[in-house]
Structure 1
Amino acid sequence: MIPIIKPLMDEAEANAAARVILSGWVTQGPEVAAFEKDFAAYTGAAHATAVSNCTTGLHLALLVAGVKAGDEVITVSHSYIATANSILYCGAKPVFVDVDADTMNMDPALIEAAITPKTKAILVVHQIGMPADMARIMPIARQHGLKVIEDAACAVGAELLWDGEWQKVGRVWGDVAVFSFHPRKIVSTGDGGMITTPHADWDAQFRLLRQHGMSVPDTVRHKANTVIFEEHPIMGYNYRMTDIQAAVGREQLKRLPGVVARRREIADRYRERLADAQWLGMPAEPAWARSNWQSFSVRLPDQADQREVMQAMLDKGISTRRGIMCAHREKVYSGSPLHAPLQNSEISQDKRIILPLYVQMTDADIDAVTDGLKKATK
């Protein structure tokens, strides 16, 4: 079986976890602090805060951005449901706009018409590792005084050309970016997330909120020479990362440059091997973007049945996944406002499939996938 993805881990991650376990400090502590520092350095971010997963990170980002009950947040339906759920957690409403057919990212041309007096923020998704068009999105947001949250769940290691310089996703072109370390992502800590921001005051609030609103962190109390009684001045959450996860994450981060380079090689190989299959639509990478290729999504011909193609691939021992889901099709969002039809979003869910992509893939694996796809769709 050729799986959809394989996390790249070995004795380095196992030894890092064992070291923390044997240290006696396994929850949020010195390893989390070190991981935050390493991650900020890698992305070029001013501040980084580790959390339990990307969804909790998005929740905190929206809360600190001031999103509350009755507000609206412009976002895309074409994303994992956690994106829209994080808005609902705040009591706000997601306002869905369509995506660009080629990049599957938010179409900037649709944003302005979706803005109302209730709009508080724009939640942009860097979909499956492809950077969104921030150069077009940010001027609209700033003109209308809107906060911008970047859902970078899949995008660690991706880059965007900004003011003539290649910058990594997470340096933050908006106000905050949030990452996922789920096993489907190219940096994994089992589960976990990271928030980056240029705002020191936002970072301080993230740290307070992730630990029950506790005024004194465990690490400070542990090192104190006098007795400290903590306070809880605000309602917070248990959104902490463990030191075990952080130790694994630090090892994963060391691998990241090589992992991204190899994934880009595999994506090039896919395009090369599928060049003669003109009935398939290839994912587009704009000149100003460098994807980490967290996923490689191809557009099926109109006459092809998505499920039948995926089953034919599975019968050959090749795992695939359907196109990214659309939250507005789920019952919980059936009444959410849609700003114009979401045609490209729905087509991307119904007519695309995601191919296997992981560092350990061989050329023979890639050839098996592409040959199987051609036979299943021609």
Structure 2
Amino acid sequence: MSTIPVMIPWLGEEEARAAAEAVRSGWVAQGPRVAEFERAFAAAVGVPHAVAVSSCTTALHLALVGAGLGPGDEVVVPSLSFIATANAVTYVGATPVFADVDPATGNLTPETVAPLLTGRTRAVIAVDQGGVPVDLDAIEELARPRGIAVIEDAACAAGSVRRGRPAGADADLAAFSFHPRKLLTTGEGGMVTCQDGELAARLRRLREHGMSVSAADRHAGTGGAAVLETYDEIGFNHRMTDVQAAIGLVQLGKLPAMVARRRELAAGYRELLGAELAGRLVAEPTYGTSNFQSLWLLLPDEAPDRGQVLAAMAAEGVSARRGIMAAHLEAPYKGAARAPLPVTELLTSRTLILPLFHSLTAEQQERVVAALKGAL
């Protein structure tokens, strides 16, 4: 019996050809394909500027640097998120302040953020958890009058929609991931989107060691004196390669089909699970739609320990996964939470993520649900 994995990226010959063409071109570092991918991604999201980087973690890092965050500042983040969200805050010397989340969507709300705001709060990182769009408007309404920046961690949300607009479209700064667990993948990679042209230009310099003229532009120069770059501030090596961007361009063209298929599969799970269990799946908000990057389920109170459930499913050839981690329970942030986080601790301990990928068949879905019900 073959094992059903939790995720398989939708990659094929078109991506392979695009990567091979980049290799054959002789330009494999950051270059013209990265610039093309940035333009295409910005157009897809509906933002003026997109800056390609090596991961969503480096995207968050650049966003925080661009927003002026540093030592002594506090940034409100959900603990219920991959640890990179909190780590990026730590990278700039600021302090992550952990907030609880809505039990249905797993996202921050004004009600969970407001009690944690202090005179040192300089930003909130609002995560679109598992692809479920956060209510960015409501959080900005709370934060902006106080002079607090809001950064959207849209790592999982390419293709999700909030109030008729793509996730990330209305954020001053947003960060996306192209990890293989996401819908759109470049192997590793990320993107920062922003509204301000001067900020975008600075982020492009910062991703390349603070270099005033990119390596691609210097090598593209023809005739005349050599272009001599300067380094006016400390930057980073956060670049994406042209090989990755070539794959990303193909993937971007597939994104609408990816989202449609995953929404179809999520609806299929709801039907197969039955009303009681389907009611325990992550919920979509009234103001938006999810790309269902992850489909998680809160186990019933009477269910066995989650580890037992996962082991029983694995014995049936189904690779489900534990729910989203809670950063405040991990060693680097142990004891850092300033207030109880009961919803976060419930969701991180009692949820599991079901297999969901483009090529998942009806027969495989039935196997997943049978394995889950048997384990329960």
Q: Give the TM-score of the pair, scaled to structure 2.
A: 0.97
Deviations 1:120-141 (CA, angstroms, capped at 9, x unpaired):
1001100000000112111011
Q: Is 1:236–2:238 an aligned residue pair?
A: no
Deviations 1:14-42 (CA, angstroms, capped at 9, x unpaired):
00000000000000000000000000111
**How far apart, CA to CA, are the structure 2 residues paired with 1:276 and 1:96?**
33
Q: Contact (CA 8 Å) 1:267, 1:293: kept in 2 or not?
A: yes
Q: Contact (CA 8 Å) 1:93, 1:336: kept in 2 or not?
A: no
Amino acid at match of 1:176: L
Q: Could you say which residue in structure 2 is the equivalent of 1:79?
A: 81
Q: Could you say which residue in structure 1 is the equivalent of 2:166?
A: 168
Equivalence map 1:277-288=2 (5 Å) = 277-278=276-277, 281-288=280-287
Q: Which moved more, 1:177-186 or 1:132-141?
A: 132-141
**How far apart, CA to CA, are the structure 1 residues paired with 2:80 and 2:356?**
21
Equivalence map 1:36-55=2 (5 Å) = 36-55=38-57
Q: Contact (CA 8 Å) 1:147, 1:174: kept in 2 or not?
A: no
Q: 1:125 aligns with which of 127, 145, 148?
A: 127
Deviations 1:319-377 (CA, angstroms, capped at 9, x unpaired):
01111000000111124242x21111011110000000001011111111111111211
Q: How many residues align?
A: 371
- The offset of 1:280, in angstroms, is 6.4
Gaps of 5+ in 2: none
Q: 2:211 aligns with which of 205, 214, 237?
A: 214
Amino acid at match of 1:95: V
Secondary structure (helix, strand or coil) at the match of 1:149 reads strand
Q: Give the TM-score of the pair, scaled to structure 1.
A: 0.96
Gaps of 5+ in 1: none
Secondary structure (helix, strand or coil) at the match of 2:365 reads helix
Secondary structure (helix, strand or coil) at the match of 1:50 reads strand
Q: Could you say which residue in structure 1 is the equivalent of 2:37?
A: 35
Q: Contact (CA 8 Å) 1:280, 1:301: kept in 2 or not?
A: no
- The offset of 1:278, in angstroms, is 4.3
CA RMSD of the aligned region, Å? 1.1
- The offset of 1:199, in angstroms, is 1.3
Q: Is 1:352–2:354 an aligned residue pair?
A: no
Amino acid at match of 2:284: E
- The offset of 1:303, in angstroms, is 2.8
Q: Could you say which residue in structure 2 is the equivalent of 1:198?
A: 195
Equivalence map 1:166-315=2 (5 Å) = 166-171=164-169, 173-224=170-221, 225-226=223-224, 227-278=226-277, 281-304=280-303, 305-315=305-315
- The offset of 1:277, in angstroms, is 4.0
Q: Could you say which residue in structure 2 is the equivalent of 1:367?
A: 366
Secondary structure (helix, strand or coil) at the match of 2:134 reads coil
Amino acid at match of 1:350: S
- The offset of 1:67, in angstroms, is 0.6
Q: Contact (CA 8 Å) 1:51, 1:194: kept in 2 or not?
A: yes
Amino acid at match of 1:170: G
- Identity of paired residues, percent? 47
- The offset of 1:209, in angstroms, is 0.4
